[in-house]
Amino acid sequence: MVNDLVVDLSRLQFASTALYHFLFVPLTLGLTVLLAVMETVYVTTGREIYRQMTQFWTKLLLINFALGVATGLTMEFQFGTNWSYYSSFVGDTFGAPLAIEGLMAFFMESTFIGLMVFGWDRLTKAQHLIVTYLVALGSNFSALWILVANSFMQHPQGAEFNPVTMRMELTSFADLFFNPDAQAKFVHTVLAGYVTAAIFVCSVSAWYLLQRRHIDFARRSFRVAAVFGVLGSAGVLTLGDALGYVGAHVQPTKLAAMEALWKSEPAPMSFTAIALPNQAEQRNDFAITVPALLSLLVTHSWSGTVPAIDELEGRARERVRNGIPAVQAMEKLSANPQDAAALAQFKAHGADVGYGFLVQRYAPGGDLTKVTDADIAQAARDAIPEVWIVFWSFRLMVGFGLLMLAYMVLATMMSLANKVETQRWFQWASVLMIPVPFLACEMGWLVAEVGRQPWSVYEMLPTWLSASTHSVSYMVFSISGFVLLYTIFAIVEIFLMLHFIKKGPEAHGHAGAAKLAGAY
């Protein structure tokens, strides 16, 4: 059996390395596309300043990209090193999109980013532009496949549990790929990346305007980014809404936690705007509610309802009871795969096998015959994620999203009216916006992944069972190593970013340099 502390430390390590990785990903996603836009303007108009813009922002992209690649390696390793049972349980289905991501997307992105940097004097203008587009396409395809994989964890569609091989096996590749969660999440995440890049470029450009340096460069960069960002942020909110709509159907526990919805109520359900959720007593210690709004928001109708936590917990209790014989049948099949009675027993109860695992945590020595009603009630309570984290990270994400939409609309209007150069308050506001998209993205990750708990694969595999059987000392060793390395990385990255932003585009211009033989 797995040690609880090891599971918690494994979760801590995964969450912190994933959140760290996710600081770099959205910027790469958006900036590669924004660079393709800038370079398109350069190639079609032939104006030098757009080449200068493309090259300067490429340099900042590379500083960011290096860390994205580096911390991405950690993510690929970690499923195997720390979540080995998860890996063998779902590798058949979950591994495929990850491998395809490498084949189709990451290979393309990584091969062409080399040419994007080193190829300026080796490729024709049109060829280089195509290379830049391929980098952007690669990074976006990468996001697509990663999110197809992630959506399988959220809504395991396209696979079935096979009691003989004791793992989830692919039943339909199309169902895996066209997971509704994946479709909405892909567009939502990618657009969030575009907004991140847009605000990054706007902020840095506004800083130059504040300094009264590189005026023309900054003004034009600002405008391209603002228009790009306003489209993106409108899309993020629309798709975020679609994602909530999908979530209402496929992950009711996440939705209930997002809305701190403890007690069932008839339609139209009221919306809790702000609350202090109290998980122990299953109520909000304090709440401000808006009547009837929730039904409209999540079901897009006045008469729709969604299940609250009390109802979901009741359902979970039934499913735990039904899951126990499923796990017992699986154990018999493990000893003898030809056991027909066990197979029939599994067929009858197998849909809830995940809930059987959920309660096994409390079974003495893993023996499910010793499970008590109290254990079952506890397992059903576990089926609800930690409400206050999900509730508040969701509200912060949406709040930041609305703030960014307002900012981007304002930025576009100011830019088109040529007012950005003169309004110092707005330049300051733009500089101060820089952390907002990053925070919003991190909050989005928290909503999605904390809201998925207690499952690593929703309703199929509990997180506690997914972890590798390491010792606590191994976990302390690895977490210490990550903290040390990632802290150094963060310092170096911020130092280099600030250094090159301060240096600005003109100092770097290699317009005269004959060859880029020594780009590194």
Partner 1 sequence: MEGFFALEAYALLKVLWWVLLGVLLTGIGVMVGMDMGVGTILRYVGRTDVERRVAINVIGPHWDGNQVWFILGGGAIFAAWPLVYATAFSGFYIVMLVLLWSMIVRPLGFEYRSKMPSERWRNVWDATLFISGCIPMVVFGAAVGNVILGVPFNFDWRLTSYYTGSFISLFNPFAVLCGVMSLSLAIYMGGTRLAAAASAPVSDRARTAAVVFALVAVVVFSGCGFWVATMDGFKLVSGPAAAAAQTPLHQQVVREAGALLANYAKYPALWTFPALTYAGLILGVLSLAANRPALAWWLGALAWIGVMGTVGAAMFPFMMPSITNPSHSLTVWNSGSSLRTLGWMTGWTLVFMPLIVWYTSWAFWVMRGKVDVKDVAASEHAL
502 binds partner 1 (CB under 8 A): no
CA atoms of 438 and 436, how far apart (whole Å): 5
**Out of 3, 16, 81, 322, which residue is the one contacting partner 1 (CB under 8 A)?**
81
As to burial, measured by CB atoms within 10 angstroms (0-12 exposed, 13-18 middle, 19+ buried), residue 289 is: middle
Whether residue 268 contacts residue 296, with contact meaning beta carbons closer than 8 Å, is answered with yes
As to burial, measured by CB atoms within 10 angstroms (0-12 exposed, 13-18 middle, 19+ buried), residue 370 is: exposed
Half-sphere exposure of 351 (CA within 13 A, CB side): 5
137 binds partner 1 (CB under 8 A): no
**Out of 3, 16, 40, 162, which residue is the one contacting partner 1 (CB under 8 A)?**
162
CA atoms of 12 and 371, how far apart (whole Å): 29
Binding to partner 1, residues 26-55 (CB under 8 A): 55
What is the amino acid identity at position 87? S
CA atoms of 9 and 470, how far apart (whole Å): 10
**Out of 5, 12, 99, 288, which residue is the one contacting partner 1 (CB under 8 A)?**
99
77 binds partner 1 (CB under 8 A): yes
Would you report the helix, strand and coil content of the chain in percent, each value rounded to 5? 75, 5, 20
- 411: closest CA among 402, 401, 420? 420
18 binds partner 1 (CB under 8 A): no
Contact flags string 464-493 toward partner 1, x per CB under 8 A:
-x--xxx---x--xx--x---x---x--x-
58 binds partner 1 (CB under 8 A): yes
Nearest distance from C-beta of residue 170 to partner 1, angstroms: 5
Which residue number, 60 or 308, has a Cβ lying nearer to partner 1?
A: 60
CA atoms of 157 and 151, how far apart (whole Å): 9
Nearest distance from C-beta of residue 127 to partner 1, angstroms: 8
Binding to partner 1, residues 401-460 (CB under 8 A): none
**Out of 41, 62, 351, 409, which residue is the one contacting partner 1 (CB under 8 A)?**
62
Which residue number, 388 or 489, has a Cβ lying nearer to partner 1?
A: 489
Q: Which residue has the tokens 């490498």?
A: 102
Nearest distance from C-beta of residue 296 to partner 1, angstroms: 41
Whether residue 105 contacts residue 138, with contact meaning beta carbons closer than 8 Å, is answered with yes
Which residue number, 176 or 257, has a Cβ lying nearer to partner 1?
A: 176
Which residue number, 22 or 262, has a Cβ lying nearer to partner 1?
A: 22
Nearest distance from C-beta of residue 169 to partner 1, angstroms: 4
Contact flags string 308-347 toward partner 1, x per CB under 8 A:
----------------------xx--xx-x----------
Which residue number, 81 or 289, has a Cβ lying nearer to partner 1?
A: 81
Pick the piece of the chain touching partner 1 (CB under 8 A) from 67-75, 250-258, 380-388, 430-438: 67-75
Pick the piece of the chain touching partner 1 (CB under 8 A) from 86-94, 307-315, 343-351, 375-383: 86-94
**Out of 18, 19, 104, 389, which residue is the one contacting partner 1 (CB under 8 A)?**
104
- 146: closest CA among 182, 110, 178? 182
What is the amino acid identity at position 357? F
- Bin 166: left if φ > 0, else alpha if -120 < ψ < 50, else beta: left
